[in-house]
Amino acid sequence: MPQAAKRYDVDYAVIGCGIAGLRAAIELSTAGSVLVLAKSELSDSATAYAQGGIAVSLSDEDEVGLHEQDTLLAGDGLCRPEAVRLLVEEGPKYIQQLIEWGTEFDRAGTKLAFTREAAHSRSRILHAHGDSTGREISRALLARAHTLPRLHLWPHAFTTELLVEAGRVTGLRFLDESDGSVHEVRAGAVLLATGGLGQIYRETTNPEVATGDGMAIAYHAGAVLSDMEFVQFHPTALAVKGAPRFLLSEALRGEGGVLRNINLERFMKRYAEAQELAPRDVVARAIVSEMHRTSSEHVYLDMTSKSEEFLKKRFPRIYATCLSYGLDLASDLAPVCPAAHYMMGGVKTDLWGRTSLAGLYAAGETAATGVHGANRLASNSLLEGLVFGARAGQAMSQDAPAAKHGAAALPGIPAPRPGEPAKTAAKHASGAAPSAAPNRAAAPAPCPALVKIRDVMWKHVGIMRSGPALTAALEQLRVIALPEPKKSNRTEQELRNLHALAELIARSALAREESRGSHYRSDFPFRNDEVFSKHSAVVRGQEIRFEE
């Protein structure tokens, strides 16, 4: 075990700088000192990549009960009703708070502008700058965080492990990539808000930072993980050769986009009454089926019924990105295919973010609150991070009253005067994060072990699954040679995290002998409520179990 270069004592530690982590940290800053660790830039999180919007029942034509009903229906019988109720009931007040903090959602005149997405019965999706909703929310939360004297932000800080004493999480160790040093943080409570694990798949819409670190370190520390078999695949990622799988938001279909196969036929009517606005799992499987039927590698998203003016205004980033690859959405069909997008499972929590380990909390995509069930309703993810991030912050401050560690507890950060913006931690002083970690070179090509993990997961543990394929996946994953762990090497740590989680997903998928939501088994093609209307749960060293 490497010796920690420095030890820091804080009241609360937050791992992750997306919507859940920042909202929790802002909540906690009223109770004590907070250290937020971001493994990359402060603005580099899945939140910033969220295009479509944030779902909330605030329009005149909407009702909280309808949002609740739509969420439960999309979750395919596996949502925790009490969690869904909290989400939809508390969502509006936290959205109003975001607006008060300077978040600029798009408006129609003076009123908030709402759009509709798949499986929503009303237009309830708020968006910002057309298709930059997550980026705008992240900007507003970071701006607020920088005004709070007891909240400290440390970019390029990669958390390698949790510290556990007598069954309680007491802190963590992290790697500061600016100089390669390993540090130790002691805290009264620790929040995991590290986002998802999309990089476990060959095809994904997720940013490079989405390597499941929070789930993996929680699993190794002994926490319960739940519903790991439920990975959502977004139906429409840009399928241009050599281009990253850029997400083409569901809001495009909400605004009238249609899907066509390579023969230019609309095909969704063969698969669902709601056609392009069916739930994501239905649309993703329909696309895969159509690709197989026509022996093609993609289908087309057709937006040509919309004018160039409309597309540029409503989807400026998407329009510009497609144009950079030679596609004009106003006149060209965009080739698309499904890609891994969102993890419904994660570290099991209660309604306040508490995990099975004392002192450890989780929120956002890292957590399994039960809100999403077997299939997340579009645009509920940002809302979940917001609502349950705030609730986790409230619970942490109540469960672990602050020891009143001041700003001086972090060497290198002078205690701010009242009302003065807090400094970013240690060497990364003041406002924005540096453009790149000084000692982190451009990412090299993925190592053979990582390529193998991604290929195995995409081929055998993807949109269409079967018992033999899942068994083969486990066999192949177990013989992958991993390098010896080094706490000073982020790339190797991420590889080990992804490998551990890949096995958990495959094991959980093999244990669930039914088809439900995003989990489809060709050998068990029907939902089995009698046996599997329960949540999977796993602890390190134990078999998968199912529980209410």
Backbone dihedral region for residue 59 (phi beyond 0: left; psi -120 to 50: alpha; all else: beta)? beta
**Under a CB-based contact definition with an 8 Å cutoff, are residues 129 and 316 in contact?**
yes
Structure tokens, 73: 């229906």
**Under a CB-based contact definition with an 8 Å cutoff, are residues 118 and 277 in contact?**
yes
Sequence-distant (6+) residues with CB within 8 A of 130 are: 106, 313, 314, 315, 316, 317
- Give how far Cα 335 sits from Cα of 261, 297, 305, Å: 9, 9, 16
E strand segments, 6-59:
6-15, 34-37, 54-55
Closest CA to 267 of 237, 305, 303, 299: 299
3-state class (DSSP) for residue 179: coil
- Mark whether 280 is an active-site residue: yes
Structure tokens, 115: 């759009």
DSSP 448-467: HHHHHHHHHHHHHSSSSB-H
Residue entry with tokens 């004018």: 307
What is the distance between the alpha carbons of residues 232 and 342, in angstroms, rounded to a whole number?
5
**Under a CB-based contact definition with an 8 Å cutoff, are residues 127 and 318 in contact?**
no
User: Is residue 385 classed exposed, middle or buried when 0-12, 13-18 and 19+ CB atoms within 10 A define those classes?
Assistant: buried
What is the distance between the alpha carbons of residues 369 and 20, in angstroms, rounded to a whole number?
13
Handedness of CA 242, 268, 527, 87 (dihedral sign): positive
Largest CA distance in the chain: 66
State the helix-helix crossing angle for 133-145 and 19-28, rounded to 10 degrees.
20
Catalytic one of 280, 285, 512, 521: 280
**Under a CB-based contact definition with an 8 Å cutoff, are residues 363 and 392 in contact?**
yes
- Give how far Cα 130 sits from Cα of 107, 315, 413, 447, Å: 10, 5, 38, 37
Q: Which residues are catalytic?
A: 280
